[in-house]
Amino acid sequence: MIVLKWWDVLQVLEFANYAQFATVSAGGGGGGGGGMAVPAVRTIRVRGVLNEQRAVMFSTDSRSDKMKDLSANPHCELCWFFPLSKEQFRISAYATWIDSATTDSKLQAIRSQQWKELVLPTRSLFDAAPPGTVMDRNTKLGDLDKYEAQPQSPHIPSPNFVIVLVHPITCDHLTLPPSGMVDPKKVLHHDGVLKPARQQRRWKHAVAKSTPATATATATTGSGGGAAATAYEWIVTELNP
């Protein structure tokens, strides 16, 4: 039997570019957590999957709240829902990242490439006022305007530009029965069967050798560096939906 892994399935689905990314926030203060850890979820633009690691990449600002969350706790989740095929992928993971301090040249090349692919207005944001701070409308020339007036180098990433690598530990894949209008060919099961399910089905894809302790150690040292888990063997188990 052909066993398609979650990343193969994701690659053939439309709308895989955007996902919901959840972190655990330290809470307290303004977040309403009253000092307790609270979840924080937001949309991110998926920039690709690193082949050797199956790590899902996205870019962000080192000064953002999500980076504060990940620095304190690298555990996170990614979630996609695909309305055409009626599938949900929910990836439990840990994050590392490539930042200006990363010494691995291959990883730094990935960061530079991603920087080049940004449009100028997006690049400008990385050197403007920190995300989430109160905007000062009284300033004659706001930070953003100032930076938009300067030509940003497409070759040298801003020090605030970070590539987050989301390293999957498990993938929970749920398929719902298609409605009448769905093209049956769009329903691609992880086991390679190109036909619609008559009922809900659910699979767990688990990486066989992954050590969250290692993940914590690498992530808290600051950057994505040698963050690869030891092996990427996947075990697929069908679950009750």
Q: Which residues bind ligand FMN (CB under 6 A)?
A: 18, 40, 42-45, 58-60, 64-66, 131-132
- Closest CB 149 distance from ligand FMN, rounded Å: 24
Q: How far apart are CA 164 and CA 222, in angstroms?
A: 11
Judge contact between 173 and 190, C-beta under 8 A: yes
Which two structure tokens, joined as six digits, stand for 146? 């100032």
The CB-side HSE value for 94 (13 A sphere, CA atoms) comes to 23
- Closest CB 117 distance from ligand FMN, rounded Å: 12
- Our CB check for ligand FMN shows the closer of 25 and 108 to be 25
- Closest CB 237 distance from ligand FMN, rounded Å: 31
Q: How far apart are CA 33 and CA 225, in angstroms?
A: 32
Q: How far apart are CA 33 and CA 38, in angstroms?
A: 6
- Closest CB 136 distance from ligand FMN, rounded Å: 19
Judge contact between 47 and 78, C-beta under 8 A: no
Which two structure tokens, joined as six digits, stand for 216? 């914590």
- Our CB check for ligand FMN shows the closer of 15 and 18 to be 18
- Our CB check for ligand FMN shows the closer of 40 and 228 to be 40
- Our CB check for ligand FMN shows the closer of 44 and 207 to be 44
The CB-side HSE value for 185 (13 A sphere, CA atoms) comes to 1
- Our CB check for ligand FMN shows the closer of 41 and 239 to be 41
Which residue is it, tokens 């100032």?
A: 146
- Closest CB 181 distance from ligand FMN, rounded Å: 25
- Closest CB 42 distance from ligand FMN, rounded Å: 3
- Closest CB 63 distance from ligand FMN, rounded Å: 9
φ and ψ of 66, to 5 deg: -65, -30
Q: How far apart are CA 102 and CA 193, in angstroms?
A: 42
- Our CB check for ligand FMN shows the closer of 43 and 105 to be 43
- Our CB check for ligand FMN shows the closer of 118 and 229 to be 118
Judge contact between 150 and 143, C-beta under 8 A: no
Q: Is 229 helix (H, G, I), strand (E, B) or coil?
A: coil
